[in-house]
Amino acid sequence: MTYVPPERGDEPALDQTRQLDVAPGPGLPAVGNGVDAQSAQPVDPFAGQAATTVGYVETPVRRDRPLFQFIWEGILLLLTLNALFFAYQSRDAVFGGEATMETLDAHLMTIASLVLIASGFGLSLRLGAVNLAVPALPALVVTMSPVFVGDNPLVGLALTAGAVAVLAILFTVLTALFRLPAWIAGLATLLVVGASYPAVIELAQRMGAPDQATTWTNPGELWLFVGAVAISVAGGLIGLLPSVRDRFSAVKSAVEGTGPRNAASVFTLLGGTFLSLMLGALAGFVPVVFGSGVQPTSEWLLLGSFSVSTVATVMLSPVALIVVFLAGTSPWGRRGGVFGTSLAAVTVWALIMLWPTFEAPASNPALIEELTGVLYVGLLLLGLTVSYGLDRLGEPKEVPEPETPVFNGEMPPFDSLQGGVNDSGLFEPTLPHATGAPR
């Protein structure tokens, strides 16, 4: 309390005592009995603050650049033209005479089937779930053509789709539900295909299936080849869409266990697996239904397809792998070819046809035939090298993170609300007394 003496004797003293506002703040107890002054409810002394929802920023999907894929397909086009030129130069040994449409029909059907097999196998790679059972289905369909084609090819096609659906469900359950690696699930599915031969034979006997399948009118092997190429190119173009690439990346993450296993990824895996297996089955269905003369014991089955016996013995043909990787398909599912699958199939076919025409030394006439495995291994290693190089070249560009700006200016002295500098009572390094006296 401050006392101010009056200037005159008849004036009372003035009381200039500052009245302090001691009203309780909002949310604080007015008295020490734990009762809130506003809500009149007991206050829990152990209650903490409300949980704050933390939001996570989703990292944008980084996609590979397809430019180098198209550059490689341009190079592959030149290689294909060269291989076809050499095949034409050796037409007497390759085609047995002039290269006419009659002599080319069998080869065009072989290439068309190889394109379908490679397209299905490449799709499984794009999903990040490589399915080794895809190249085995042509042999199953051709061997069991009385069931999968039969006297009514439409019914046979429905049975083929049903068998493919069962294999697709099995593969999806093993990869998405049991979390098994895709190659193990594919190998198990491949062995299931081999074990199914006795059951299919029994089914054919119960159905009274004919010995030979009914055929449709053949529009010409050239048109069948063009149709297979169109399917492959259309699939490659669809795979370039950003939404499709993002969905494939999500499926790959779900299969590998690095991403969420939601319903969209599982159903995409199931649908993609069904489509890839169906393409492999069509590689055997189309030659049979159009009467291309494909027999279960023909050498055609060794080109591009796997085979498995009833005692679970797998014969692995590397041709499908060679075509897929020479097309530029990434082993990690990051990228696929557009025109590359068809070009690689034609190139590999030409090399296989040209290989026996090379002259062996007189001391070892069978040398070329003995080195056929070396040719396959060399082409496979070349394809893997191409895929690795395209993966490295097509990596998305690194986006630099914004750096936090560093303050390089001079800190001003502390100014109090009253406008003074020395009235805060705080240590100020910018004031004169902050610097010690020199010693």
Q: Can you list the alpha helix ranges (DSSP code H) found in 213-257?
A: 221-238, 242-256
Residue 306 C-alpha from the chain's centroid: 23
pTM of the predicted protein model: 0.76
Q: Are 134 and 279 in contact (CB under 8 A)?
A: yes
Q: What is the pLDDT of residues 171-202, one digit of tens each?
A: 999 999 899 999 999 999 999 998 888 888 88
Residue 28's CB is within 10 A of a number of other CB atoms, namely 10
**What's the mean pLDDT in 365-378?**
90
Q: Per mean pLDDT, which range of 26-40, 101-115, 153-167, 263-277 is the poorest?
A: 26-40
| Closest CA relative to residue 108, chosen from 238, 235, 218 | 218
Place of tokens 């999500």: 250
As a whole number, the mean pLDDT across the chain is 81
Distance CA 184, CA 174 (A): 9
Residue 279's CB is within 10 A of a number of other CB atoms, namely 27
Q: Are 82 and 354 in contact (CB under 8 A)?
A: no
Residue 382's CB is within 10 A of a number of other CB atoms, namely 13
Q: Are 104 and 346 in contact (CB under 8 A)?
A: no
Distance CA 249, CA 300 (A): 35
Count helices and strands in the chain by DSSP H and E runs: 15, 4
Q: Determine which helix (DSSP H) or strand (DSSP E) holds 19, and give its type and residue range.
A: none
Q: Are 36 and 43 in contact (CB under 8 A)?
A: yes
**What's the mean pLDDT in 261-282?**
95
Residues 6+ apart with CB under 8 A from 188: 170, 174
Q: Where are the domains of the chain?
A: 67-393
Residues 6+ apart with CB under 8 A from 175: 129, 181, 182, 185, 255, 269
Residue 91's CB is within 10 A of a number of other CB atoms, namely 14
pLDDT of 57 reads: 45
pLDDT of 359 reads: 85
Backbone angles phi, psi at 29, to 5 degrees: -65, 135
Report how far apart, in Å, the C-alpha atoms of 322 and of each of 233, 234, 306, 345 are: 18, 21, 13, 9
**What's the mean pLDDT in 203-228?**
87
Partnered with residue 60 across adjacent β-strands are none
pLDDT of 316 reads: 81
Q: What is the pLDDT of residues 393-406, one digit of tens each?
A: 988 776 666 666 66
Region of residue 47 (phi > 0: left; psi between -120 and 50: alpha; otherwise: beta): beta
Residue 411 has pLDDT above 90, yes or no: no
| Closest CA relative to residue 118, chosen from 286, 333, 406, 336 | 336
Residue 18 DSSP class: P
> What six digits make up the tokens of 365?
């006439």
Contacts 24+ apart (CB under 8 A), 97-102: 101/222
Sort 142 into a burial class: Cβ within 10 Å, 0-12 / 13-18 / 19+. buried
Report how far apart, in Å, the C-alpha atoms of 9 and of each of 12, 13, 171 are: 8, 10, 109
Q: What is the pLDDT of residues 60-79, one digit of tens each?
A: 556 778 889 999 999 999 99
